[in-house]
Amino acid sequence: MKPLERSDLEAKLTVRGHSGSQDTRVLKFSKDANEGPLFEGEPIKGLTDWDTAVVSLKLKDSWTHIRFSHHSGDRAGH
């Protein structure tokens, strides 16, 4: 299967640290010779550990949020 090339897709990453700090980075579409289409963003300096990360994708006028938790058992129901 060939991955879809979605250069029209808006994407951002929001990372929340254990201390409550939050950083958001806009992800830009690019193509890697080995990996193919991907989204890249600026590094988050000083980030050593995180609690929750959310990848947000916007296609047309609708946002979809995909949440990742670093500690899967800690937050049942979220």
Specify the pLDDT at position 78.
45
Residue 78 CB partners (closer than 8 Å, separation 6+)? 67, 69
Say if 49 falls within a structural domain: yes
Q: Using alpha carbons only, what angle is made at residue 48 by residues 65 and 42, rounded to the nearest 5 degrees? A: 55
Say if 44 falls within a structural domain: yes
Q: pTM of the prediction?
A: 0.73
Give the torsion sign (CA, 62, 16, 25, 69). negative
pLDDT tens digits in sequence order for the chain, 78 residues long: 665 666 678 999 999 988 889 999 999 988 888 988 888 999 998 888 889 999 999 988 899 999 999 765 544 444
Say if 3 falls within a structural domain: no
Say if 1 falls within a structural domain: no
Domain that holds residue 36: 10-69
Of the candidates 46, 54, 60, 61, the residue with the CA atom closest to the CA atom of residue 27: 54
The total number of structural domains in the chain stands at 1
Contact between 22 and 16 (Cβ < 8 Å) = yes
